[in-house]
Amino acid sequence: MTTTIPDSVDVVVSGAGAAGLAAARALGATGRTVLVLDRQRTPTPVAKGEILQPESVRILDEWGVLEALRATGARPVERLAIRDPHGEPLLSIDYGQLPGPYRQVLCAEYADLRNVLAGGMPGTVEILRGVRVTGALRDGAGRVSGVHTVGDGAGAGGTEIRAGLVVAADGMSSPLRKAAGVGVDRQEYPHRLLALDVEGVDVAAELAAYRTARGLCLVYPLPGNRCRLYVQVRPDEFRASGMADLNPWCDALLADVPAIAPLGSAVRASLRRRQLFAVYRLRADRLSAPGLALVGESAHAVHPMAAQGVNSSLRDAETLAGAVTSESTVDNSLEAYEADRRPRLDHIATVSHNAARMITALSGAPKLLGARMMRRTAANPRLLRQTAGNLSGTDVRPLTLVDRLYQLGLLVDRHANTPPVTATDRSEAR
């Protein structure tokens, strides 16, 4: 089948993951013609992007798609609990205490999120699958002015599409980012995450992060009496494993984390559908260049432990659309987008990296410091509320250097039991 591709639109988006679809939705709502291209004809089911923070819930609600997502069976949770391997609580972050109306995390399928974002798009948005973006077009001044594409259908040749704004939403490896010459700093964590889709179980309505001798073990509910189990593994742990080795591996896991023993037979059954992920953090040198915006993992990736990726991607889209509706030129708007998002994304990168280190460090000073910071934070209601706000995205107030000293036990926080002033309090006081 040959795909008909327009040769000119207002906006072309490369990639139809959460970030690309969100950007298309938000920019389409401003009346612009938007063309979304994805190299995959059928999206691959991937065990990622399932925990949606309250900020994502707010955005989805404002875009009118929250009820559609709830209808997929998305599971609400109100607490992130860090527990020891036996299930004893070490630290509990209560989203129910957040100010404002969005006080829940939703656990949903990534495919369902993509579907509800793609469903009921503004009429000016078109999504074409099976079309790969292979490069950036530039005008005489070097400004990005469109894309080169190749379709996968019979007879599909190379095509050029011109656009006033090009959006790179093509994931961590982002061919478009490379073509535009934007560099990245990308670092791999020294472990992998094994993702298991555990069926026929009813787990507590919480994000349960077990801090174990093998590192992180994360459990949360999913639609349809299922739960997600991520297990931290060594990079070589599964390389040589055939099916025959999996039962002893599972025995060892259940012995390491007795709290998940009740899920034992369901975990064993889920092993043949396992997915293994290398885990990275990535920061693009820039979020924009003349004619080009980067959104989602083409611009930033963080450890999944703090579940910030989708939040950031939806917020990128919302901010970008807000910036380009102003009276200024596209390139001035792109500078405004960069100035707004960069500090926030850097903050999220720090929060995510610190949260990941607290749980995934296996030895030495990082492990000891992680344990100490967790104990001090757990005993400090002010820091707990602030951490809930920072993770949720709805009440962000970065920790100060002094807060870090409280966490390390180097200073005593006399205001630990004083409720902090919230964003809502601040606006009510004005």
Ligand X SMILES: Cc1cc2nc3c(=O)[nH]c(=O)nc-3n(C[C@H](O)[C@H](O)[C@H](O)COP(=O)(O)OP(=O)(O)OC[C@H]3O[C@@H](n4cnc5c(N)ncnc54)[C@H](O)[C@@H]3O)c2cc1C
> Smallest distance from the beta carbon of 207 to ligand X, in angstroms?
9
> Smallest distance from the beta carbon of 39 to ligand X, in angstroms?
4
Q: Under rule CB under 6 A, which residues in 39-68 are in contact with ligand X? A: 39-40, 43, 48-51
CA pair distance 119, 189, nearest whole angstrom: 35
> Smallest distance from the beta carbon of 347 to ligand X, in angstroms?
15
CA pair distance 321, 334, nearest whole angstrom: 10
Enclosing H/E stretch for 30: none
Q: Do 256 and 213 form a contact (C-beta atoms < 8 A)?
A: yes
Counting contacts by CB under 6 A, is residue 109 touching ligand X? Answer: no
Q: Do 199 and 270 form a contact (C-beta atoms < 8 A)?
A: yes
Say how many residues touch ligand X, by CB under 6 A.
Answer: 34
DSSP state of 412: -
Counting contacts by CB under 6 A, is residue 17 touching ligand X? Answer: yes
CA pair distance 217, 228, nearest whole angstrom: 10
Find the binder of ligand X among 54, 146, 175, 291 (CB under 6 A). Answer: 175
Q: Do 50 and 206 form a contact (C-beta atoms < 8 A)?
A: no
Find the binder of ligand X among 28, 99, 151, 171 (CB under 6 A). Answer: 171
Q: Under rule CB under 6 A, which residues in 287-326 are in contact with ligand X? A: 296-297, 304, 307-311, 313
Q: Under rule CB under 6 A, which residues in 179-198 are in contact with ligand X? A: 193, 195
Closer residue to ligand X in complex, CB, 238/379: 238
Counting contacts by CB under 6 A, is residue 390 touching ligand X? Answer: no
Pairing relation of β-strands 158-168 and 144-151? antiparallel
Find the binder of ligand X among 5, 9, 13, 20 (CB under 6 A). Answer: 20
Find the binder of ligand X among 5, 11, 16, 209 (CB under 6 A). Answer: 16
Pairing relation of β-strands 131-138 and 144-151? antiparallel
Q: Under rule CB under 6 A, which residues in 117-156 are in contact with ligand X? A: 132-133
Sheet holding 79-83, edge to edge: 89-94, 79-83, 207-212, 215-222, 226-233, 184-199, 275-284, 300-301
Counting contacts by CB under 6 A, is residue 19 touching ligand X? Answer: yes
The site for ligand X (CB under 6 A) is made up of 14-20, 37-40, 43, 48-51, 132-133, 169-171, 175, 193, 195, 277, 296-297, 304, 307-311, 313
